Structure 1
Amino acid sequence: MRPTTKDLAKAAGVSLATVDRVLNERPNVSARAVRKVQDAIKRIGFERNLAAVNLARNRVYRFLFVLPERGDQYLSELLAEIDSARAPLKSELVEVGVVRLDVEDPHAVANLLSSLQTDEVNGVALMAPESPQTRDAVLRLNERDISVVHFLSGQANLEHHDFVGIDNIAAGATAGRLIGRFNAGRGGTIAIITETIHAQDSLKRRLGFDRVIHQNFPTLSCLPTLETHGDPARAERIIKQTFANHRDIVAAYIMSPEGRVPLEALSHCADLTDLIVVAHERTPFNEEALRDERLDAIIAQNPGHAVRSALRILRARRDRRQPFAAQEKIRIEILLADNL
Structure 2
Amino acid sequence: MKEPDPSSPLTLKDIARQAGVSLATVDRVLHNRPGVRPDTVRRVREAIERNSFQPHVAAAELARSRARRFAFVMPSGPNLFMMQIQSYLGEMAGWLSARRLAVEVIATDVFDPSVLAASLESLIGGDYDGVAVVALDHPSVRAAVNDLVDAGTKVVTLVSDVPSSRRNHYIGIDNIAAGRTAGALVGRLVGPRSGKVAIVAGSQGLRDHAERIFGFNQVISSEFSNLEVLPVLEGRDEDERSEQMLSRLFGKHPDIVGLYNAGAGTQGVAKALGDSGCEKQVVFVGHDVTVLTRKLLLQGVMDAAISQNPGHEARAAVRVLLSLARGEPILIEQEKIRIDIVMRDNLP
Q: Same fold (TM over 0.5)?
A: yes
Distance in structure 2 (CA, Å) of the matches to 1:93 and 1:232: 39
- State the partner residue of 2:130: 123
Deviation at 1:154, TM superposition (A): 2.2
Deviation at 1:144, TM superposition (A): 0.9
Structure 1 residue corresponding to 2:281, chosen from 267, 274, 279: 274
Q: CA RMSD in A?
A: 2.0
Matched to 1:325, the amino acid is: I
Tell whether the 8 Å contact from 1:118 to 1:146 is kept in structure 2 after alignment: no
Deviation at 1:258, TM superposition (A): 4.3
Structure 2 residue corresponding to 1:336, chosen from 315, 337, 343: 343
| Closer, same or farther: CA 330–245 of 1 in aligned 2, 3 Å | same
Distance in structure 1 (CA, Å) of the matches to 2:320 and 2:297: 34
Distance in structure 2 (CA, Å) of the matches to 1:117 and 1:276: 46
- Residues 1:98 and 2:81 aligned together: no
Distance in structure 1 (CA, Å) of the matches to 2:93 and 2:272: 37
- State the partner residue of 2:217: 210
- Residues 1:325 and 2:338 aligned together: no
Tell whether the 8 Å contact from 1:258 to 1:280 is kept in structure 2 after alignment: no
- Residues 1:237 and 2:244 aligned together: yes
- Residues 1:222 and 2:218 aligned together: no
Matched to 2:171, the amino acid is: V
Deviation at 1:103, TM superposition (A): 1.6
Q: Percent identity?
A: 34
- State the partner residue of 2:187: 180
Tell whether the 8 Å contact from 1:194 to 1:255 is kept in structure 2 after alignment: yes
Distance in structure 1 (CA, Å) of the matches to 2:123 and 2:240: 36
- State the partner residue of 2:204: 197
Aligned pairs for 1:34-183 within 5 A: 49-118=56-125, 120-157=127-164, 161-183=168-190
Structure 2 residue corresponding to 1:295, chosen from 274, 292, 302: 302
- Structure 1 residues 120-163: Cα deviation after superposition (integer angstroms, max 9, x where no partner): 21000101311111110110111111011101012153686411
Q: Which deviates further from its counterpart, 200-209 or 65-74?
A: 65-74
Q: How many residues align?
A: 295
Distance in structure 2 (CA, Å) of the matches to 1:80 and 1:231: 20
Deviation at 1:118, TM superposition (A): 4.6
| Closer, same or farther: CA 339–189 of 1 in aligned 2, 3 Å | same
Distance in structure 2 (CA, Å) of the matches to 1:159 and 1:136: 9
Tell whether the 8 Å contact from 1:126 to 1:151 is kept in structure 2 after alignment: yes
Q: Which deviates further from its counterpart, 159-168 or 324-333?
A: 159-168
Say which SS state the counterpart of residue 90 (structure 1) adopts. Answer: helix
Deviation at 1:93, TM superposition (A): 0.3
Tell whether the 8 Å contact from 1:124 to 1:146 is kept in structure 2 after alignment: yes
Distance in structure 2 (CA, Å) of the matches to 1:268 and 1:124: 42
Tell whether the 8 Å contact from 1:60 to 1:94 is kept in structure 2 after alignment: yes
- Structure 1 residues 13-69: Cα deviation after superposition (integer angstroms, max 9, x where no partner): xxxxxxxxxxxxxxxxxxxxxxxxxxxxxxxxxx99344212233542111100111
Distance in structure 2 (CA, Å) of the matches to 1:198 and 1:230: 13
Aligned pairs for 1:238-253 within 5 A: 238-253=245-260
Distance in structure 2 (CA, Å) of the matches to 1:228 and 1:324: 36
Give 5+ residue unaligned stretches, structure 1: 1-5, 7-46
Matched to 1:171, the amino acid is: A
Matched to 1:242, the amino acid is: L
Distance in structure 1 (CA, Å) of the matches to 2:259 and 2:101: 43
Matched to 2:175, the amino acid is: N
| Closer, same or farther: CA 299–276 of 1 in aligned 2, 3 Å | same
Distance in structure 2 (CA, Å) of the matches to 1:83 and 1:268: 38
Matched to 2:214, the amino acid is: L
Distance in structure 2 (CA, Å) of the matches to 1:219 and 1:146: 50
| Closer, same or farther: CA 322–80 of 1 in aligned 2, 3 Å | same
Matched to 2:188, the amino acid is: R
Give 5+ residue unaligned stretches, structure 2: 1-30, 32-53
Deviation at 1:304, TM superposition (A): 0.4
Deviation at 1:246, TM superposition (A): 1.4
